[in-house]
Structure 1
Amino acid sequence: MSDVPTEVAELAGRVFDLARDGDAAGLAAYVDAGVPVNLTNDAGDTLVMLAAYHGHADAVRALVARGADVNRLNDRGQSPVAGAVFKGEDDVVRVLVDGGADPLAGHPTAVDTARMFGREDLLTVLSPPM
């Protein structure tokens, strides 16, 4: 962010902290005021990725309601739903799946991650009904 004005970098930092901390109301207010819902940090993590990885279902829900891309991969090719599976954040996994998350996106996929950790219960959430 070296070529970004200091004030903008500070604002972005505050918004990323809100996502990590799970401040759903604060995130909603900033996005409603014009902060891009798919804002990314220098690692390619979106607000929804940070909120999901840190286990904040309400923050993820608020971002999804505002059009967050639940399938956007970070620079390491990881998806928000795979991160939530990895961290064992079951409620977040459900919010993301309900919001349209692709359980086969990224590497490893959310399905692969659930299998790796023996999370058969999440495999049923991640697999569409036949």
Structure 2
Amino acid sequence: MTGQTGPAPESNEPAHDPEVLQLAAKVFDLARGGDTDTVAAYVDAGVPANLSNDRGDTLLMLAAYHGHADTVRVLLDRGADATRANDRGQTPLAGAVFKGEEEVVRVLLTAGADPAAGHPSAIDTARMFGRTELLTLFGA
């Protein structure tokens, strides 16, 4: 049926426009680097809070993994999903546990992240790396 118009199908992938791809790469780098104010400004201007890259890593995953608690808070405040796993089944919480980022772990737990979710889960990750303080925090 040609000629029909309607809403564009929902996709988490940016359009293949080089400028859009360049902008997405920049925002991922900002999240990875913990540039909280700039990430917030981009999301406030319309970049999806749950934007993910070609591996399924969201802005939140990158900020959590790299230990940027303030950026994690800002993304959560703007609707980022604390429970969303990447394409390998890893959650932002498990990433923060792997890196030993206790403040990020606490922020994600407050936002409803499940320490038993994902593969490996945050609990499994804490056990693998002997992070007993985090296991205590999880009640495991």
By the TM > 0.5 criterion, same fold?
A: yes
**Equivalent of 1:58, from 51, 70, 85?**
70
TM-score (norm 1): 0.93
SS in 1 for 2:127: helix
Indicate whether 1:49 and 2:61 are aligned.
Answer: yes
- Report the counterpart of residue 111 of structure 2 in structure 1: 99
Indicate whether 1:123 and 2:135 are aligned.
Answer: yes
**Equivalent of 1:11, from 15, 19, 23?**
23
Give distance in 1, aligned partners of 2:78 and 2:137: 23
* Superposition CA RMSD, Å: 1.6
SS in 1 for 2:50: coil
Q: CA deviation at 1:2?
A: 9.6
* Preserved contact between residue 14 and residue 24 of structure 2 (Cα < 8 Å): no
**Structure label with greater radius of gyration:** 2
Q: Deviations over 1:60-109 (max 9, x none)?
A: 01001111001111011100000100011111111111111111111000
The equivalences for 1:74-93 within 5 A come to: 74-93=86-105
* Preserved contact between residue 14 and residue 20 of structure 2 (Cα < 8 Å): no
- One-letter code aligned to 2:110: D
Give distance in 2, aligned partners of 1:27 and 1:101: 21
Give distance in 1, aligned partners of 2:108 and 2:83: 9
Q: How many equivalent residue pairs? A: 128
- Report the counterpart of residue 37 of structure 2 in structure 1: 25
Q: Structure 2 stretches of 5 or more lacking a match?
A: 1-12
Greater than 4 Å deviation, 4+ residue runs: none
Give distance in 2, aligned partners of 1:13 and 1:93: 25
Give distance in 1, aligned partners of 2:134 and 2:33: 24
Q: CA deviation at 1:3?
A: 6.1
Give distance in 1, aligned partners of 2:131 and 2:26: 34
**Equivalent of 2:51, from 36, 39, 57?**
39
- Report the counterpart of residue 73 of structure 1 in structure 2: 85
